[in-house]
Amino acid sequence: MSNGGIIGPINDPVQGYQGGTVTSITGSTTFTKSTTNTQSLANVLIVAGGGGGGGCAGGGGGAGGLRISTCYPVSSPVPITIGGGGTAGSACVNAGSGTNTSFGPITSAGGGRAGGVFPSVAGVAGGSGGGGGRSTPDGAGGSGNTPPVSPPQGFNGGAGANNGCGFSGAGGGGGGSAGVGTAGTSIGGGPGTGTAIGGPGGPGTDVTPYFGAAPQPFYLTDSPNNGAVSGGIFAGGGGGRADPRGASVTQGTGGAGGGGNGSGTGTATSGITNSGGGGGGGPTSGVGGSGIVLVVEKNGNYNAPGVWSLSEQYNYKKQGTWTNPAPVSVDYLVVAGGGGGGIFGGGGGAGGFRTSFPGGTKIIITGGTSTPITVGAGGAGGTCFVSTGDGTPSIFSTITSTGGGKGGSFSTQSGSGGSGGGGSGGNPLLSPIGGTGNTPPVSPSQGNNGGTGVNSGCFSRAGGGGAAAVGGDSSSTVGGSGGSGSANSISNSPVTYSGGGGGGARTGNTAGSGGSGGGGAGSAGTAGTPGTVNTGGGGGGGGQSLPAFIDQDGGSGGSGIVIIRAPGSANLGASPGTNTVTTLPAPAGGCKVATFTVSGTLTT
């Protein structure tokens, strides 16, 4: 038969949903579906109002929470509330947090306001957390994804910084919907001699995989003083303000997605209207950007009509134009970034470790769709001028692995996270107990607690927790070892991930070894070893060199990794080009493995 053995008409394959009807909603109302939406389904973007920036040496406002719901049922009218941006702060007036946006029962939380100098220095929790203001002690950034949802609606704000005399203080960046705000930097000196760097705002979320490639009429227009939005990006954090009296001053930039820039003088930039961007920090700060709802209705049906010959189907498949709506069941390994090691401190906790392979519950992905992948960064190692950092989360679909907790130091408490950072000691005002692992709690556990330091003798430091074991406690002269990581063969060969960092020690004593799975070794008298890239290993704690009693820097945490394993019939793709897709040899049965070493997009 000329048509390859199939009797019937030969039609070009078409997909019923070709973008559909788009409704951009910028004011509170009720949504009623289109009469052509016969499936009564839609993709919905819900962005809350961004937080206001902090006044005086203030942080950037946190972005409004951002949530995406795919194939949401819209069979009846849906009430919508659009959140407003938070008010600006000034020298003696706190900024305001953004307000919530809701689409029916789905609510995105308003961005947290930033801290200033007076009356409140700390950033506030919200969809994304507000950046901390400059003060003594440094103002903490607010927590993002508050209240918690999965996938997270936003990230933490960065901490403010102050050199102690106030002339080079800097506010932290507000958290963005796709990443944390950066901490401010403040180094040395009086007027005209110090360095002040306002923390950039966290990045917003690229929604083009759900609502179409830019340009689109419903995407916003860029402004020169805000993070870019025209590429389909929403909910960037505001930039922190840097005190202009230093010798080297850099204002914090707004995160992509409408976050406002910080300003040293005058009024900072506001978040872009209807972007959910946080306002920039300044003497008078910027207001937060209001929220938005986008609804893309999937008009018509989803089936490719007609009958095709085998040869036609083969050619369409080869050209990449054959519609493949079949769901794909995949295994996953999601490892977050490891925590940084403390300056003369404890080892960083390993990044959270979550996997379905082998024998766990798989994730089902709709065929012919794109799924964003976030690969968490390792936390910064502690230095004289930079606080130790927690690792950042890695995310795939509904699975979030939490970044490893930072290692403790004389002036910094160990952090909790996927695995907890190792405790320090020597400061009676801080607990030597290590950070708590498996935070927030999931089952199976994503990690373990950090070890406990000592408050007497020569003050060796404890090890960070690992995926498979707690961090080792320290003694007076011996640093604790990092907790061991977990091995996994999702990529066809066993690889160990998420080892904790070893604790530091003084010259002549014994530092803790790094845990298997990329944990950095602690050091006796020199800088700690960084965690291994793409393992989620915690950074090693720095030592203390004698006879000068100089505290040495901690090692940075290793970045995370995300690996997806699918049947050989799946049409997997991974972007950008640094990420890869491979086909496994026997006996793995031709399974395909997508490996993400940087954030990107999985296509099926």
How does pLDDT run across 23-34, given as a tens digit for each residue? 899 999 999 888
The arithmetic mean of pLDDT across residues 411-437, rounded, is: 91
The DSSP output letter for 349 is: P
pLDDT in the model for residue 171: 82
**Between these two residues, 4 and 490, which has the higher pLDDT value?**
490
Please determine, for residue 318, whether its predicted confidence score (pLDDT) is greater than 70.
no
Contact 76, 37 (CB under 8 A): no
In 302-447, at which residue ranges do the beta strands (DSSP E only) sit?
328-335, 353-355, 363-365, 370-374, 394-396, 399-401
Q: In Å, what is the CA distance from 273 to each residue of 173, 463, 603?
A: 19, 47, 32
Enter the tokens of residue 30: 């009720």
pLDDT at 9 exceeding the cut of 80: no
Percent of the chain with pLDDT over 90: 60
Q: Measured between alpha carbons, how far is residue 86 from residues 277, 281, 292, 307 in Å? A: 10, 13, 15, 56
The two three-digit tokens of residue 258, written as one number? 């409408």
- Segment 313-340 shows an average pLDDT of 74
Instruction: Tell me the two tokens of residue 320.
Output: 């990449």
Handedness of CA 186, 189, 190, 194 (dihedral sign): negative
Please determine, for residue 427, whether its predicted confidence score (pLDDT) is greater than 70.
Answer: yes
Collapsing DSSP to helix, strand or coil, 211 comes out as helix
Give yes or no for residue 370 having a pLDDT over 80.
yes
Mean pLDDT, residues 496-521 taken together: 96
* Mean pLDDT estimate for the chain: 87
| Residue 166 pLDDT level (bands cut at 50, 70, 90) | low
In angstroms and rounded to an integer, the radius of gyration of the C-alpha atoms of the chain is 25
In this prediction, residue 87 has a pLDDT band, given cuts at 50, 70 and 90, of: very high
Of 377, 381, 375, 376, which Cα lies nearest the Cα of 348?
381
Alpha carbon distance 196, 98 (integer Å): 27
Query: In a 10 Å sphere around its CB, with 0-12 CB exposed, 13-18 middle and 19+ buried, how is residue 336 labelled?
Result: buried
Grade residue 524 by pLDDT with cuts at 50, 70 and 90. very high
Using CA of residue 433, residue 434, residue 435, residue 441, what is the dihedral sign?
Answer: negative
Has residue 312 got a pLDDT over 60? no
Query: Residue 461 has what DSSP assignment?
Result: -
CB 102 within 8 A of CB 119: no
Q: Contact at 8 Å (CB) between 57 and 117? A: yes
Q: Is residue 415 over pLDDT 70? A: yes
Q: Give mean pLDDT, residues 513-518.
A: 96
pTM for the whole thing?
A: 0.53
Q: Which residues contact 263 (CB under 8 A, 6 or more apart)?
A: 241, 251, 269, 280, 281, 282, 283, 286
Count of alpha carbons within 13 angstroms of residue 494, beta-carbon side: 6
pLDDT at 43 over 90: no
Mean pLDDT of 280-304: 81
Q: Which two tokens stand for residue 443?
A: 């089952």
Q: List the domain boundaries for the chain.
A: 17-302, 329-561+573-583+591-604
What is the rounded average pLDDT of the residues 258-278?
94
Is the pLDDT confidence value at 309 over 60?
no
Residue with tokens 């393992």: 535
**Residue 401: what residue type?**
S
Give the residue from 408, 397, 466 showing the smallest Cα distance to 434: 408
Question: Which of 54-63, 160-169, 285-294, 298-307 shows the highest mean pLDDT?
Answer: 285-294
Quick one: pLDDT at residue 577?
Answer: 85
570 vs 462, which has greater pLDDT? 462
- Phi, psi (degrees; rounded to nearest 5) at 304: -85, 115
Low-confidence winner among 64-78, 433-447, 484-498 (lowest mean pLDDT): 64-78
For the residues 498-526, what does the mean pLDDT come to? 95
Burial of 192 (0-12, 13-18, 19+ CB in 10 A): exposed
- The DSSP code sequence of 10-58 is B-----S-SS-EEEEE-SSEEE---TT-TT-EEEEEEEPPPPPPPBTT-
The whole-number average pLDDT for the span 570-590 is 80
How many residues appear in the chain? 604
Instruction: Give residue-wise pLDDT tens across range 185-208.
Output: 888 766 667 788 999 999 999 988
pLDDT-derived band at 548 (thresholds 50, 70, 90) equals confident
**Per-residue pLDDT reduced to its tens digit, 127-155:** 999 999 876 566 899 999 999 988 899 99
The pLDDT-based confidence of 212 (bands split at 50, 70, 90) is confident
Average pLDDT over residues 453-474: 90
Lowest-confidence range among 7-21, 437-451, 532-546? 7-21
Cβ(135)–Cβ(121) below 8 Å: yes
Supply the pLDDT for residue 5: 37
Judged against a pLDDT cut of 90, whether residue 161 lies above it is answered with: no
Q: What is the dihedral of CA 71, 73, 74, 77, to 10 degrees?
A: -140
pLDDT for the residue numbered 448: 97
pLDDT class for 168, splitting at 50, 70, 90?
Answer: low
Q: pLDDT at position 214, please?
A: 86
Q: If you write DSSP's letter for every residue of 465-533 in order, what string do you get?
A: P-SSSPPPPP-SSBPPPPPP-EEE-TTSS-EEE-PPPPPPBBTTSBPPPPPTTTPPPP-BSSPPPPPPT
**pLDDT of 18 strictly over 50:** no
The residue among 334, 329, 467 whose CA lies nearest residue 395 is 334
Q: Is the pLDDT of residue 13 over 50?
A: no
pLDDT of residue 440 exceeding 50, the answer is yes
Q: Which residue has the higher pLDDT, 359 or 458?
A: 359
What is the structure's pLDDT at 520? 97
How many percent of the chain have pLDDT more than 70? Answer: 88
